[in-house]
Amino acid sequence: MTKTAAGNFFEDFRLGQVLEHATPRTVTEGDQALYLALTGSRFALQSSDEFARALGLRRAPIDDLLAFHVVFGKTVPDISLNAVANLGYAAGVFRTLLYPGDTVTARSEVIGLKENANRQTGIVYVRSTGLNQRGETVVEYVRWVMVKKRNPEAEVPPPHVPSLPEAVEPDALVVPDGIRFDRFDRKLSGSPYAYDDYEIGERIDHRDGMTLEEAEHAMATRLYQNTARVHFDAWEQRESRFGRRLVYGGHVISLARALSFNGLGNAVKVAAINGGRHAAPFFAGDTLYAWSEIIGKAPAGNDVGALRLRTIATKDRPCADFPREDPAVVLELDYWVLVPR
Amino acid sequence: MTKTAAGNFFEDFRLGQVLEHATPRTVTEGDQALYLALTGSRFALQSSDEFARALGLRRAPIDDLLAFHVVFGKTVPDISLNAVANLGYAAGVFRTLLYPGDTVTARSEVIGLKENANRQTGIVYVRSTGLNQRGETVVEYVRWVMVKKRNPEAEVPPPHVPSLPEAVEPDALVVPDGIRFDRFDRKLSGSPYAYDDYEIGERIDHRDGMTLEEAEHAMATRLYQNTARVHFDAWEQRESRFGRRLVYGGHVISLARALSFNGLGNAVKVAAINGGRHAAPFFAGDTLYAWSEIIGKAPAGNDVGALRLRTIATKDRPCADFPREDPAVVLELDYWVLVPR
Amino acid sequence: MTKTAAGNFFEDFRLGQVLEHATPRTVTEGDQALYLALTGSRFALQSSDEFARALGLRRAPIDDLLAFHVVFGKTVPDISLNAVANLGYAAGVFRTLLYPGDTVTARSEVIGLKENANRQTGIVYVRSTGLNQRGETVVEYVRWVMVKKRNPEAEVPPPHVPSLPEAVEPDALVVPDGIRFDRFDRKLSGSPYAYDDYEIGERIDHRDGMTLEEAEHAMATRLYQNTARVHFDAWEQRESRFGRRLVYGGHVISLARALSFNGLGNAVKVAAINGGRHAAPFFAGDTLYAWSEIIGKAPAGNDVGALRLRTIATKDRPCADFPREDPAVVLELDYWVLVPR
């Protein structure tokens, strides 16, 4: 019998099942530098130890989305190696900050299962949790994914679709312990705008474009130890629907987040992911643009507030006119960010 | 009103104006590793903590040009986002060494302004300074750049062109405190040649060639948090004069410097940049070659001397015959390096 | 006379000659992150400080092959700058673990010389040793390489071909001091299989494929400060036999090793390299696949054993049918790995 892992198929999952994912990962300054080189992120909190110390932290934390991708990557061999499509995210909350030197592990609980009518595939809902070496939760989120059945005839449990919040409640957002947003320097951060300067309904064109190369997304995705073959194996992908490698959707999220600096420079921390949809595939050679709308606001302390954003990213199409129903849209992301007041 | 930064236009600058640039940046071992992977640098001082310690330093410092690029990158959103052309550098001096863990900030003073006759553009002269977290100057330099006017009709101040030195005086060169070049090991460093072995007028073909990829210059330029769109947005650049992304000129300087190891292996530290000219654009797919001429010499201590170099880099043309007036030339750089005696 | 290094030619080598190679290199977390991003390695020991500490080490060591490549890279300017072909490896043994912060130096002894009949080239055999800053051997190996003569007429010493072992004896394998494989967590490591689960003759298709880009192999090879021009200079290579840049064979070994995780996830340490053959060149754009056969077993302690593997890598051809005599084969590597019992 082969020792090569083939991943789980739909009929292998059970409601309530907990999967402890492999490959603990110490995240370092090296990862942070690569993340910056691959995305162009410029948020001051993650860029400067001194800036972070001025706010009361011990040093610059790891970028929230880098932490997310490392956790996500660990779940792939168990959850989505046989996935047809990544369908959605919900209830993503960033808790304890991750610092260089911390080690991430991850586990997932199966919280929903629903076979598709054609019996070829089914939808698996998991709540995944990334932990640091002290067992503190760094990030947790729900994801659902369409997974192939090994055997279409296999019997599966009755359908169970979990009830998921439309968005994370403002009360559930976590402001890192001991952080002092009143000491936030808006000269150094690169943006003069504070929480009160943003209004619900406001739309911001992030304007800059970023063209992606095969080497870039492949390096990022390997950095996250994400093993989904569609990102790496161009030979196999020749026979696929698109005829080429797909870019990991999470890297598109990171690029959109980095572009959002232009207009949202003080949104230094992602607090939650309410939902996300990859509307179309993104490929090497494509240029990403993005715009955001403020769709919610909530104070998160005396000196900090949360903005709920809908960021829409397009390919090969600037966003000056805020496109939403448009074939160029590749990503729609609904999330909370923290901004000093 | 949009919160997206559009950068300053020529009429926004005032003589004597000081711009504090955004995004403080802690430079780490991760940045140094990436710099090495992207340039192929082999100078022993920056490559080995042990080598640096033998000379009396506490560990290997960050490469001088990496420090320069990080500072330069910070100036872009304020100085050159609306630039048409980067015209020149002068009076660049490297002062305090930058080490992994240090945090860089930058500011620029406007020292000259001159509108062009067509009133569409003007030349802005700035003296930019990069500082570490203790406020010590890491590097300072003058740069002048042609910047668009937002409104050609806008009134601007009377022209003022600063007087700039043809080169940094040898007396102004800084040898790092406490460094002991008498302990320099020329076996380990990879070159037998010391200061006295080089003669004014001597020409050195560095011989090796380096082909550049889009992913490489884009990663380098993002690492420096340089936001100039011409390096990143291939979609927008389709309509430009060259029809494609331009490589950041500073990365070409770094590649030429790395190539110069072959013949100048003991020139372990850049001490000053006297001037530089990007004679032609460089693109992904091009192969860079370089040669240098020794155009000046000056002792810089009992055990160290400074060589003034003119390094000329070409594209797709080896430099065995020392080309200078040649369409293949892309860079001419005049700078001082420190070499053990 | 030029100061540009031209490398040694066949007639420059002498039996018994010892070459101290240049450019000491401190290996850091930055290098390890890049290695992971460039190869996709997932072995738990090198990925997690906590995993390494649980086994009694002080932190995650540097990947064995990264250490090997750094040593190999140092030898290039002295040994193989004028090489026509890299012919083989033997007697490679990994000794002291390399950790982030350690500094590598390298030296080689010429142990064999044999001019070819055409007098244009000759074979140079060297035993290369990589040392840490305490002078402890990190890795040593024999390599032989065909080197051009500067002058075909030059007189050379009588031929001497060293006797080389077909494989490293199990007794000569080094288990790192103080490592406790009994504490190895096969849930975290990502594979349930221990030493006793593998049988001689067993074949494992690693299944995954990895497509390589120019930027990736060039970054890896520069990271190792390997200066062989064939990997970097596309302009010069246009006139070569293949018309393009060759991928450094060591990077192909690293990719094959990373792919081998799928089926050999607990083979966390390379203990020795018995031999290797690059059967065909590998180029950017090619997709690498690999399979392995267990060709030897030996206990290496109470809680750890050594597996002798023959890993075969192909390009643009999956390995489900275990190809060996096949034009798609690019690498055949014979090596020992340590696996918990």
Tens-place pLDDT, residues C281-290? 999 999 999 9
Determine contact: A281 vs chain B, CB below 8 A: no
- What letter represents residue C267's amino acid? A
**Exposed (0-12), middle (13-18) or buried (19+): which is A230, by Cβ within 10 Å?**
middle
Flag the least confident range among A195-204, B80-89, B205-214.
B80-89
Q: Are residues C1 and C94 in the same domain?
A: yes
- What does the alpha-carbon distance between residue B40 and residue A228 come to, in Å, rounded to a whole number? 31
- Best of C38, C222, C226 to disrupt the B interface (most B CBs within 10 Å) is C222
Two structure tokens written together for C324: 């060996």
B-proximal residues of C, 87-126, CB under 8 Å: 100-101, 103, 105
Range of the domain at C156: 1-27+62-164
Q: Are residues A228 and A135 in the same domain?
A: no
Q: Which of C113, C133, C164 is the last residue of a domain?
A: C164
Per-residue pLDDT reduced to its tens digit, C116-140: 999 999 999 999 999 999 999 999 9
- What does the alpha-carbon distance between residue A323 and residue C313 come to, in Å, rounded to a whole number? 47
Per-residue pLDDT reduced to its tens digit, C235-259: 999 999 999 999 999 999 999 999 9
Is the pTM higher than 0.95? yes
Per-residue pLDDT reduced to its tens digit, C77-110: 999 999 988 899 999 999 999 999 999 999 999 9
Note whether A239 and A308 are within 8 A (CB): no
Minimum CA–CA partner of B38 in chain A: A37
Per-residue pLDDT reduced to its tens digit, A171-186: 999 999 989 999 999 9
- Best of B1, B28, B34, B69 to disrupt the A interface (most A CBs within 10 Å) is B28
Per-residue pLDDT reduced to its tens digit, C58-75: 999 999 999 999 999 999
Determine contact: B56 vs chain C, CB below 8 A: no
Do B208 and C229 lie within an 8 Å CB cutoff? yes
- What does the alpha-carbon distance between residue A221 and residue B216 come to, in Å, rounded to a whole number? 17
Q: Closest to C50 (Cβ–Cβ): which among A5, A26, A29?
A: A26
Q: Are residues A224 and A325 in the same domain?
A: yes
C-proximal residues of A, 216-245, CB under 8 Å: 218-220, 222-223, 225, 227, 229, 232-236, 245
Question: With bands split at pLDDT 50, 70 and 90, how would you rate the model's confidence at A144?
Answer: very high
Helix H, strand E, coil C: the string for chain B is: CCCCCCCCCHHHCCCCCEEECCCCEECCHHHHHHHHHHHCCCCHHHHCHHHHHHCCCCCCCCCHHHHHHHHHHHHHHHHCCCEEEEEEEEEEEECCCCCCCCEEEEEEEEEEEEECCCCCEEEEEEEEEEECCCCCEEEEEEEEEEEECCCCCCCCCCCECCCCCCCCCHHHCCCCCCCCHHHCCCCCCCCCCCHHHCCCCCEEECCCCEECCHHHHHHHHHHCCCCCHHHCCHHHHCCCCCCCCCCCHHHHHHHHHHHCHHHHCCCCEEEEEEEEEECCCCCCCCEEEEEEEEEEEEECCCCEEEEEEEEEEEECCCCCCCCCCCCCEEEEEEEEEEEEC
Q: Are residues A119 and A213 in the same domain?
A: no
Q: Which chains touch A (3 or more CB pairs under 8 A)?
A: B, C
- What does the alpha-carbon distance between residue A113 and residue A120 come to, in Å, rounded to a whole number? 14
How high is the pLDDT of residue A124? 98
Q: Are residues C104 and C202 in the same domain?
A: no
**Contacts A103 to C, Cβ<8 Å:** 48-51
C-proximal residues of B, 152-211, CB under 8 Å: 187-191, 193, 197-198, 204-211
Q: Are residues C246 and C325 in the same domain?
A: yes
Q: Evaluate whether residue B111 is within a structural domain.
A: yes
CA distance B190 to chain C (A): 5
Q: Evaluate whether residue C169 is within a structural domain.
A: no
The b/e string for C42-67 (b: 16+ C-beta within 10 A; e otherwise) is bbbbbbbbbbbebbebebbbbbbbbb
Q: Evaluate whether residue A225 is within a structural domain.
A: yes
Q: Which of A153, A171, A198 is the last residue of a domain?
A: A153
- Best of C32, C45, C47, C314 to disrupt the A interface (most A CBs within 10 Å) is C47
Do C29 and B32 lie within an 8 Å CB cutoff? no
Q: Are residues A4 and A103 in the same domain?
A: yes
SS3 at position C115: strand
CA distance C118 to chain A (A): 41
Beta carbons within 8 Å of A178's beta carbon, 6+ residues apart = A56, A57
The H-or-E segment that residue C329 falls in is: strand C329-340
Minimum CA–CA partner of A81 in chain C: C208
Question: Percentage of chain C surpassing pLDDT 90?
Answer: 97
Averaged pLDDT, B185-190:
96
Per-residue pLDDT reduced to its tens digit, A264-306: 999 999 999 999 999 999 999 999 999 999 999 999 999 999 9
pLDDT score of A143 more than 80: yes
Q: Are residues A260 and A325 in the same domain?
A: yes
- Best of C219, C221, C231 to disrupt the B interface (most B CBs within 10 Å) is C219
How high is the pLDDT of residue B1? 61
The H-or-E segment that residue B298 falls in is: strand B287-299
Cα distances from C15 to residues C71, C73, C152, C161, in angstroms, run 21, 22, 19, 10
Averaged pLDDT, C198-224:
98
pLDDT score of A85 more than 90: no
Q: Closest to C34 (Cβ–Cβ): which among B33, B60, B189?
A: B33
Do B32 and C30 lie within an 8 Å CB cutoff? yes
Q: How many domains are there within chain A?
A: 2
Per-residue pLDDT reduced to its tens digit, B40-58: 999 999 999 999 999 999 9
CA distance B134 to chain C (A): 25
Minimum CA–CA partner of A287 in chain B: B235
Q: Closest to C24 (Cβ–Cβ): which among B29, B44, B287?
A: B44
How high is the pLDDT of residue A117? 94
Do C24 and B50 lie within an 8 Å CB cutoff? yes
Q: Are residues A224 and A100 in the same domain?
A: no
CA distance A78 to chain C (A): 10
Determine contact: B133 vs chain A, CB below 8 A: yes
Cα distances from B254 to residues A44, A216, A331, B68, B102, in angstroms, run 26, 21, 36, 10, 21
Question: With bands split at pLDDT 50, 70 and 90, how would you rate the model's confidence at A253?
Answer: very high
Q: Which chains touch B (3 or more CB pairs under 8 A)?
A: A, C
CA distance A206 to chain B (A): 6
Provide the mean pLDDT of chain C. Answer: 97
How high is the pLDDT of residue C86? 87
Minimum CA–CA partner of B255 in chain C: C222
Q: Evaluate whether residue C170 is within a structural domain.
A: no
Do B32 and C33 lie within an 8 Å CB cutoff? no
How high is the pLDDT of residue C233? 96
How high is the pLDDT of residue A5? 85
CATH code where residue A204 lies: 3.10.129.10
Q: Are residues C124 and C251 in the same domain?
A: no
Q: Which of C140, C164, C188 is the last residue of a domain?
A: C164
Q: Evaluate whether residue B161 is within a structural domain.
A: no
**Contacts B51 to C, Cβ<8 Å:** 24, 103
Question: Percentage of chain C surpassing pLDDT 70?
Answer: 100
β-strand partners of C139: C94, C130
SS3 at position A106: strand
Q: Which chains touch C (3 or more CB pairs under 8 A)?
A: A, B
Per-residue pLDDT reduced to its tens digit, B269-316: 999 999 999 999 999 999 999 999 999 999 999 999 999 999 999 999
**Contacts B198 to C, Cβ<8 Å:** 3
Q: Evaluate whether residue B4 is within a structural domain.
A: no
Determine contact: B32 vs chain C, CB below 8 A: yes
- What does the alpha-carbon distance between residue C29 and residue B37 come to, in Å, rounded to a whole number? 14
The H-or-E segment that residue A211 falls in is: strand A210-211
**Contacts A33 to B, Cβ<8 Å:** 28, 30-31, 33-34, 223
- Best of C262, C264, C309 to disrupt the A interface (most A CBs within 10 Å) is C262
Q: Evaluate whether residue A297 is within a structural domain.
A: yes
pLDDT score of C309 more than 80: yes
Determine contact: B2 vs chain A, CB below 8 A: yes
CA distance B29 to chain A (A): 7
How high is the pLDDT of residue A26? 98
Do B48 and C25 lie within an 8 Å CB cutoff? yes
Q: Evaluate whether residue C32 is within a structural domain.
A: no
β-strand partners of C143: C89, C126
Q: Are residues A10 and A149 in the same domain?
A: yes
How high is the pLDDT of residue C1? 61
Q: Are residues A254 and A300 in the same domain?
A: yes
Examine the predicted complex and report whether its ipTM is higher than 0.90: yes
Averaged pLDDT, A22-36:
98
DSSP annotation of A160 reads B
